[in-house]
Structure 1
Amino acid sequence: MRVLLQRVSEAAVRIDGVIVGEIGPGLLALVCAVEGDGQAEAERLAGKTTKLRIFEDDAGKMNRSVADIDGSVLVVSQFTLAADTRKGNRPSFIGAAAPDLANSLVEHFGSCLKSAGLPVETGRFGADMKVSLINDGPVTIWLDSTA
């Protein structure tokens, strides 16, 4: 599983011009399930997302988690994080998990965040989504269950 986290001041996802998920300060989590992933990977990366200390404390050091700042998480499925660009100029997405499995794992990732007490908003799996954000910092962190 791959998760690209962006520390945001705000973020929203729209489908057909309608906001379906919106947060203030917190994290935008672009989530991709890859072949071989299961619930354990979703749980491990959700735990890491919850506890990752990438928000500033009073001294200006990245020492606080999204939970510590009472932040929210916007979870958006992003199969293109599975892109293989080693050959040619057109990415291959063959390593992405099958849609049914990917959807359930992205949902499980979000459920794990909710179970940890975080407010979670989501996009809609498989939809043509328009994501807007104000990246805070900018701070962008890559999580990979295989690393």
Structure 2
Amino acid sequence: MRAVVQKVKYSSVTVDNEIIGKIDNGFMILLGVTHEDTLKEVEWLSKKIKDLRIFEDQDGKMNLSLEDVKGEVLIISQFTLYGNCIKGRRPSFTDAAKPDHAENLYNKFIEKFQSFGIKTQTGKFGADMKVELLNDGPVTMIIDTKDVGALK
């Protein structure tokens, strides 16, 4: 499971010219799922992101978490995070999970943030989405569960 986490002042997602999700201060999360991902990755990644201390404290140091600042999340499914561009000019998406598996884990990831009591907005799985954001910092983190050997 791979996530691109952007600290934002605001973010929104539009489908068919209608805003379906919108947040203020918090994280816009692009989430990619691969074939071997399980609930174990959902658990680890959701907690890791929730606990990231990348908001500034009173001294200007990145020391506060999403919960500390009462931040919100906008979670967008993004199979292209598993696009492989090494060969040729057109990316291969064979590492991305099949839609049924990916959608199930995407929904579980959303449920985890809701269970944390964090205001959670989402995109629409499989839809053509337009995402708008104001990146704060800019601060962008890429977190991949494959980098955590203990999960496998």
Q: TM-score under structure 1 normalisation? A: 0.99
Corresponding residue of 1:4: 4
Please tell me the residue identity of whatever aligns with 1:132.
E
Task: Name the Cα RMSD after superposition.
Answer: 0.5
Q: Quote the residue 1:53 is aligned against.
A: 53
| 1:23-63 Cα distance to aligned partner (Å, 9 max, x none) | 00000000010110011101110000100001000100000
Task: Kindly provide the CA deviation profile for residues 74-115 of structure 1, in whole angstroms up to 9, marking residues without a partner as x.
Answer: 000000000111111111000001100100111111111111
Letter in 1 for 2:69: I
Q: Separation in 2 of the partners of 1:118 and 1:50?
A: 9
Consecutive unaligned residues in structure 1, runs of 5 or more: none
1:115 and 1:7 map into 2 onto residues whose CA distance is 21
Per the alignment, residue 18 of structure 2 pairs with: 18
| Secondary structure of the structure 1 residue equivalent to 2:146 | coil
Equivalent-residue separation in structure 2 for 1:67 and 1:7 (angstroms): 13
1:66 is aligned to 66
Q: Give the SS at the match of 1:117.
A: coil
- SS of aligned partner of 1:106: helix
What secondary structure, in the 3-state scheme, does the structure 1 residue paired with 2:10 have? Answer: strand
Say whether 1:37 aligns with 2:33.
no
Structure 1 segments of 4 or more deviating over 6 A? Answer: none
SS in 1 for 2:117: coil
- When the two structures are aligned, how many residues end up with a matched partner? 147
Structure 2: runs of 5 or more not aligned: 148-152
User: SS where residue 53 of structure 1 aligns?
Assistant: coil
Does 1:102 pair with 2:102? Answer: yes
